[in-house]
Structure 1
Amino acid sequence: SMVTAKPTDTFEGSVTALYETEEERQDYRVVLSGPLTDTLSGRLSLMYRDVEGPYTNTFTGDDEKQEEEMVYRGSLLWEPTQQLSIWAKYEHSDFDDNGRNVELDQSIVREDLAGTGQGTDYITALDNFVGLANGVLGLQPPVAYSGDDGELNRVRGGNGDFHDNQSDVFVLTIDYDLGGLTLTSTTGYLEYEFQQDCDCDFTSATVFNALQDEAFEQFSQEIRVTSPGGETIDYIAGLYYQTNELDFEDSINVMDNSLLRILNPAFSNIRTRRFADQESDMWAAFAQVIWNISDTFRLVLGGRYSEEEKTATKTQVHFGPDDQPTPATDPSGQVPNVLWGLNPLFGAFSIEPYDTISGKRKEEEFNPLVTLQWDATDDMMLYATYVEGFKAGGFDIRSNGHPDPNVVNAQNLGRGLDIVGVFEFEDESAESFEVGAKMGIGDTAELNIAAFYTEYTNLQTGQFDGVLGFNVRNAGEAEISGVELDGRWLVTQGLTLSAAVAYLDFEYTDFENNQCYFGQQVLEPGAVQPDGVTCDATGKRKEYTPEWTGSIIADYVMPLGDSLELRTTLDLNYSDSYTFNPTLDPRSEQDSFTKVNLRVAVGAPSGQWELAFVGQNLTDEDVVIYGGEAPLAGTLTGGTGMAYYKFLDRPATYAVQGTYRF
């Protein structure tokens, strides 16, 4: 975890600047810290970052994803007596993004149709639709489109995305020495607002866009008492309270030059809007006791009891060109106005209009922890741990379909499937066992090894609904086991080697309601459930669970005369292949890769100044950090074709960084 540096009792500061060539990234940081009076000190840090991005947008001609970020943080530390310490921190951040690091790849025809002359891949279907709209139908204004090549090459089409986020954080921590015991109070406040315009069809064709506006506030208070340590019984105990509120609004908009007008020319300037809010109140009591049974044996007992109450409401409304709400049906079950087909069209998005639905849930949970530690030798500690974990359930405010399968459901006309949405999901729980050892080897090496096993019940998963949205659902059960090994070795006075390797096994032992991936109904008919849209994923691995991962780091420091020092860090990070798509589509697999990073710096031995070369991902690995089926691809191809959107991690980058400390 990251810990904010506290103000210092002596004056110090630093200035750091970085310039990177591939993304034209500029990064500037300034830190000032020192005493203001005999008992009061302060710290101020500023950060500014500007990135042009490695993608080329063929539609706008811009480099993407463009990022601009400003963060400033100030803190004060007041120590009026030896017993009392008060630390306060305020942080504001503002970051704006234009464009996205996403593109379409793998435009395919369903495998059983390949070579038959039947079916159309998504990009071909887009080309055909655009030609029909602008040629045969002559829609005005015309559908704008720059084409997509369907290759993973950081070239994309898109007609404008942005993401603006502002956040404020305040923390107040008071420590008071009660003559051996330490009483600590921590008060926190967080708020953020963000607005987003997502060209969520991920093409340059004007199909639809999604606007989102979200605001969040949270207040928390913790009070804990800590024993002085070094006794037969050491302990920490406390109370925690948290309350938060989320306000959410988004809309899916079909513009007057949308490609979808070819389905019905009246479908222009229509939209669906969603309004939701959620409130949560939670309190917890926690304690941990360390019983030092002897000089070599320790028993750690801990527990946390928590109660949480959540309430939420949600409304989805469709609007016609007159900006008036359009109900789903009239009493006779027919679409009520001249925009015949309006709601079936949004049924093609699997977004159904409904009046306000609301929910309330309350959960109570106790999570124990038991650890036994044994100092087998002066250089080896063995341990065994049992712990239970819990994640509260909640409400899915972004699910598109109605959660009740018995309501009038607008069908997805392109694929003939009824998508049932989600409003409420259940809590997730876990039981975990771990055994391990921490060892010192001579005076120059350390080695840690751990083996673990975890059982999940009601594992919370985010699932693509097969059309446009995502649903948060509970998988039945899952088992995870693995082994982790890491160590450090001071080879010479100037050379340190570090390494880590991990083996992970993940299996869904009960997951009958995963969203089917594209074509699974044909390719794996035995997995399809009676509803036709969910598939049994029992026995499969979860996304982002590579079997093997590892890293090797070499740090080397060498004097260059009396006034200079060379500092070099080389690290290699390996990951086995894994699936990145929540539907577990076998087409969505990230190949194994090894990323190589290198930092070479020259500076003063005291660390006062430094000039460095920083290279990241020097092997230029294409790593997909997220991806899935392209929205509406199945709809516009009649279920015969697909393409996949993929968000790529950064390419190879080369930067120069300078730092001066005073």
Structure 2
Amino acid sequence: MTPQRPLKSLLSLAVAALAAGSAQAQQLQLEEVVVTAQKRVESLQDVPISVSAVSGQRMQDAYITNLESLTTYVPNFSMNQSGLSNNITIRGVSSGINPGFEQSTGMYVDGIYYGRGQLSRLPMFDMERVEVLRGPQPILFGKNSIAGAISMITAKPTDQFEGSVSALYEFEENQQDYRVVLSGPLSDTLSGRLAVMYREQDGSFVNVNTGDDEKQEEEGLVRGALRWMPTDNLDINIKYEHADFDDNGRNVELAQSLVREDLQGTGVGIDYVSALNNFVGLANNVLMLDPPVDFAGEDGKLNRVRGGNGDSHTNSSDVLVLGVDYALGDYTLTSTTGYLEYEFEQECDCDFSGASVFDAVQDESFEQFSQEFRITSPGGETVDYIAGVFFQSNELDFKDSIDVPANSLLRLLNPNFNSINTDRFATQESDMWAVFGQATWNVTDTLRLVVGARYTEESKEATKQQVHYAGGTAFPATDPSGAVPNVFFGLNPLFGSFAIEPYDEIRGDRDEQAFNPLFTVQYDLGDATMLYATYTEGFKAGGFDIRSNGHPDPAVVNACTLDTSTTPPSCARDIVGVFEFDEEEAESFEIGAKMGLGSTAELNMAAFYTEYTNLQTSQFDGILGFNVTNAGEAEIKGVELDGRWLVSEGLTLSGSVAWLDFEYTDFRNNQCYFGQQVMDPGAVQPGGVTCDATGKRKEYTPEYSGSVSAEYILPLGDSLELRTVFDLVFSDSYLFNPTLDPRSEQDAYAQYNLRVGIGDQAGNWEVAFIGKNLSDEDVVTYGGEAPLAGALTGGTGTAYYQFLDRPRTLALQALYRF
């Protein structure tokens, strides 16, 4: 039985019980959830948006350390790490793999836009709350927030002295986590807060090649904040944060090694793992490797055992935020100034095997400055409004390299295939400004009309260059058919094919404008129910592709397959890449209800329909590159429900569930999955490289997903209490490969989490047991076809690399507050 069926029954019973239970327990009162989703402090029940809010206390109890672990508790929301990037998905919409992308989900920390995918991996600590706003958010969170917005609010300095220390040890992955927070007044008008966190772990994968447990993680974060209130009208907040978050190894392995279905049982064809083993064995014998390569561990099974020659990922970031609120009569003037920079370096054994074949190195540095000025009217007037201007400027420097080391097994193809590499250099500068406003007309005590708009102008300039090297010497970007690196990295089938074309620096610039409106109608049906309907348009700027491996002009032929049947030899096929991609747009309709069922229960519902045009997608070229394309059109519709019920003193039930229907209505240029040209020839487009995905669902779009939680607090005597939290998290099946390969499907699953803590009733101390994924489900978060699989199997077989989420983990946590 799939997880969604019992949930339907549970939901029906819960709704019926809510109404009955609320009438029997009027003396109980649910605690109000306060959010700032509309840049005002409001009750969640008054906000006409589908919002999930997770408090800092909830994050601490559930041991949520980053966005990836937060997704467990928010339906229609996921964050996935791939081999070279990170992706945030809301309602099935995400950006794909390409360093030229900004995220389709706008991520904001204390009002500062974090658009780069790498920043989604930042550790989360000492948070006040996190709000996930689903659907386009074009006005108040307007920078590219076409899928939704994540607003993260860190804890602020307090007027009273307080602090906490905590420690956690997790047994399965040898995880250690230490945290210290100090907050309080420094003078009559000045208060401060210091938060320090350090975490490390070994991981759940075994690398049989290195002998290490993977992936090993090490994170450190220091945040200092000051709050100065020199007068009753002026509130100044300044925050500085430095974070380091590093990995060694990966939670990825080769799985599903197979022969193409039409060749199975014919004796023709070979699967990828077998082909690799044969190739390694041949290399050992011919090259007389000493010591010989041991290829054990690559068994093509999903068992958390992998090869690999070592992967690493180092990151550092610095953020400075200055926020000023000034009360001008009943109005509030707000200034938010932000400076952000980060650097990261990644070394990837991207053939995902224990053999020495090739390595990928990626370096990225980024700087951003932003300034927003905003005026907020006093609430409760006939017309309430927020208006402002926003400016942002950023610079990106990017380099990546494909390296063939001196001991590469590719020497078997040609002894010169060692100590060669190809490097890509790219830069991008962007300046953007916007003016925005949102007004609420309180027509009557029960009827409100909301109108909003944002006008945006953005300019970008970019450069890109591809250079091949041998022994440190660069080779010119001309037709160099006799040069070793160009033969190897080009399209010569005699020596393998990486399909990477050298070219001199290319430049591009683009300027675009967007006007995005919003219209909302709110109506109070009685004292406890609010209905709303919204129409909005979203926009995500275009940009420049960084990971494409060919020159965008087909007339530039610097690498090709030589056709020796002609005189002189000619190019049978050229590598044609992309450089620029267009903006993405959305139109969205949403209706919803926020209902209070007495004082002890609430139920919120949202139904939505969104049309996307020019969806920006990144497609693996089947070898080593990724090409950005605008996918055409898609229709997304769904329903989201969430609710809480204070059943009795000490017992609270909460839950959320989402139904999602995603359909590409026009997507004729998707990358073909392995064997699709044979298995589904009707989908193959002219040229045989792309396939029609019209009518299909996107990856990461389970039909159903959600969670149910029960929290129970039991007094023990006069001073102690037992606090228990149980979570059921479930998902329907979904595809995890952007090619939409039907072999790459994650089965429906249900995970169970449990936290049992004992402490004093005043909340000064607590010791807790935390168990996550107690059902020990194997959940694949990303996957794709192994690079070079087609070359080694002659196109007859493949294998898939798959990233796995954490298995069952068991931890002890101790906390002391003062």
**Shorter-normalised TM-score: what interval?**
over 0.9
Give 1:594's aligned residue: 750
Distance 1:361 1:646 in 2: 37
Does residue 90 (structure 1) correspond to residue 240 (structure 2)? The answer is yes
> One-letter code of the match for 1:475?
A
Structure 1 residue corresponding to 2:600, chosen from 436, 444, 451: 444
Give 2:624's aligned residue: 468
Give 2:554's aligned residue: 405
- Kindly state the Cα deviation for residue 422 of structure 1 after the two structures are TM-superposed: 2.0
Q: Structure 2 vs 1, CA of residues 491 and 412 (structure 1 numbering), >3 Å: closer, same or farther?
A: farther
Aligned positions of 1:130-529 closer than 5 A: 130-138=280-288, 143=293, 145-321=295-471, 323-330=472-479, 335-337=481-483, 341-344=487-490, 348-408=497-557, 410-411=559-560, 420-529=576-685
Tell me if the contact between 1:348 and 1:412 (Cα under 8 Å) persists in the aligned partners. no
> One-letter code of the match for 1:352?
E
Distance 1:316 1:344 in 2: 12
Tell me if the contact between 1:456 and 1:477 (Cα under 8 Å) persists in the aligned partners. yes
- Kindly state the Cα deviation for residue 399 of structure 1 after the two structures are TM-superposed: 1.6
> One-letter code of the match for 2:426?
A
Q: Structure 2 vs 1, CA of residues 338 and 469 (structure 1 numbering), >3 Å: closer, same or farther?
A: closer
Structure 2 residue corresponding to 1:538, chosen from 678, 681, 694: 694
Task: Mark the runs of 5 or more structure 1 residues left unpaired by the alignment.
Answer: none
- Give CA-to-partner distance per residue, 1:19-45, whole Å, 9 cap, x none: 000000000110000000100000000
Measured on the aligned residues, the alpha-carbon RMSD in Å equals 1.6
Distance 2:607 2:628 in 1: 30
Q: Structure 2 vs 1, CA of residues 143 and 340 (structure 1 numbering), >3 Å: closer, same or farther?
A: farther
Tell me if the contact between 1:42 and 1:75 (Cα under 8 Å) persists in the aligned partners. yes
- Kindly state the Cα deviation for residue 401 of structure 1 after the two structures are TM-superposed: 2.6
Q: TM-score scaled by structure 1?
A: 0.97
- Give CA-to-partner distance per residue, 1:242-292, whole Å, 9 cap, x none: 000000111101112112111111111111011110000000000000000
Does residue 28 (structure 1) correspond to residue 184 (structure 2)? The answer is no
SS of corresponding position for 1:79: strand
Distance 1:599 1:338 in 2: 59
- Give CA-to-partner distance per residue, 1:303-326, whole Å, 9 cap, x none: 1110110110000000113x1112
Q: Structure 2 vs 1, CA of residues 629 and 575 (structure 1 numbering), >3 Å: closer, same or farther?
A: same
Q: Structure 2 vs 1, CA of residues 141 and 362 (structure 1 numbering), >3 Å: closer, same or farther?
A: farther
Tell me if the contact between 2:489 and 2:498 (Cα under 8 Å) persists in the aligned partners. no
Aligned residues, how many? 656
Task: Mark the runs of 5 or more structure 2 residues left unpaired by the alignment.
Answer: 1-150, 563-571
Q: Structure 2 vs 1, CA of residues 229 and 345 (structure 1 numbering), >3 Å: closer, same or farther?
A: same
> One-letter code of the match for 2:511?
K
Does residue 42 (structure 1) correspond to residue 188 (structure 2)? The answer is no
Distance 1:300 1:178 in 2: 24
Distance 1:339 1:496 in 2: 65
Give 1:550's aligned residue: 706
Moved more, 372-381 or 139-148: 139-148
Tell me if the contact between 2:286 and 2:412 (Cα under 8 Å) persists in the aligned partners. no
SS of corresponding position for 1:544: coil
Aligned positions of 1:622-637 closer than 5 A: 622-637=778-793
Tell me if the contact between 2:669 and 2:691 (Cα under 8 Å) persists in the aligned partners. yes
Does residue 654 (structure 1) correspond to residue 804 (structure 2)? The answer is no
Tell me if the contact between 1:375 and 1:382 (Cα under 8 Å) persists in the aligned partners. yes
Higher helix residue share? 2
> One-letter code of the match for 2:179?
R
> One-letter code of the match for 1:354?
Y
- Kindly state the Cα deviation for residue 328 of structure 1 after the two structures are TM-superposed: 4.9
Structure 2 residue corresponding to 1:80, chosen from 223, 230, 253: 230
> One-letter code of the match for 2:603?
L
Distance 2:246 2:772 in 1: 24
Higher relative contact order (CA 8 A, sep 6+): 2
- Kindly state the Cα deviation for residue 551 of structure 1 after the two structures are TM-superposed: 1.2
Distance 1:559 1:462 in 2: 54
- Give CA-to-partner distance per residue, 1:326-368, whole Å, 9 cap, x none: 23544xxx52446683343688112111111111011100110
Structure 2 residue corresponding to 1:67, chosen from 217, 233, 238: 217
> One-letter code of the match for 1:524?
D
Q: TM-score scaled by structure 2?
A: 0.79
SS of corresponding position for 2:525: strand
Q: Structure 2 vs 1, CA of residues 115 and 138 (structure 1 numbering), >3 Å: closer, same or farther?
A: same
Tell me if the contact between 2:421 and 2:485 (Cα under 8 Å) persists in the aligned partners. no
Distance 2:491 2:249 in 1: 27
Q: Structure 2 vs 1, CA of residues 185 and 649 (structure 1 numbering), >3 Å: closer, same or farther?
A: same
The alignment-based identity, stated in percent, is: 71
- Kindly state the Cα deviation for residue 214 of structure 1 after the two structures are TM-superposed: 0.8
SS of corresponding position for 1:491: strand
- Give CA-to-partner distance per residue, 1:479-530, whole Å, 9 cap, x none: 0001111111111111111121111100000001101111111111111111
Give 1:578's aligned residue: 734
Moved more, 586-595 or 465-474: 465-474
Distance 1:8 1:168 in 2: 23
Distance 2:678 2:206 in 1: 37
